């Protein structure tokens, strides 16, 4: 699988996990981990 194929696979896996956000499934455990140090300071705003 090329790099683009791997990225599409990971994106599809992530999208599948969002379909049932409260359903715990072992294959999605990597999305439930704490963020890395560099990501703990990110802020997201939806204001305009």
Q: Can you give the pLDDT at residue 31?
A: 85
* Per-residue pLDDT reduced to its tens digit, 25-43: 999 998 888 888 998 888 8
pLDDT confidence of residue 30: 87
In this predicted structure, the answer to whether residue 19 has a pLDDT above a threshold of 90 is: yes
Average pLDDT over residues 5-26: 91
Question: How does 11-46 read in b/e, with b if 16+ C-beta sit within 10 Å?
Answer: eeeeeebeeeeeeeeeebeeeeeeeeeeeeeeeeee
């Amino acid at each position: 699988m090329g790099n683009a194929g791997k990225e599409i696979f990971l994106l599809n896996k992530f999208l599948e996990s969002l379909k049932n956000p409260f359903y715990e499934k072992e294959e999605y455990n990597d999305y439930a981990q704490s963020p890395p140090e560099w990501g703990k300071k990110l802020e997201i705003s939806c204001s305009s």
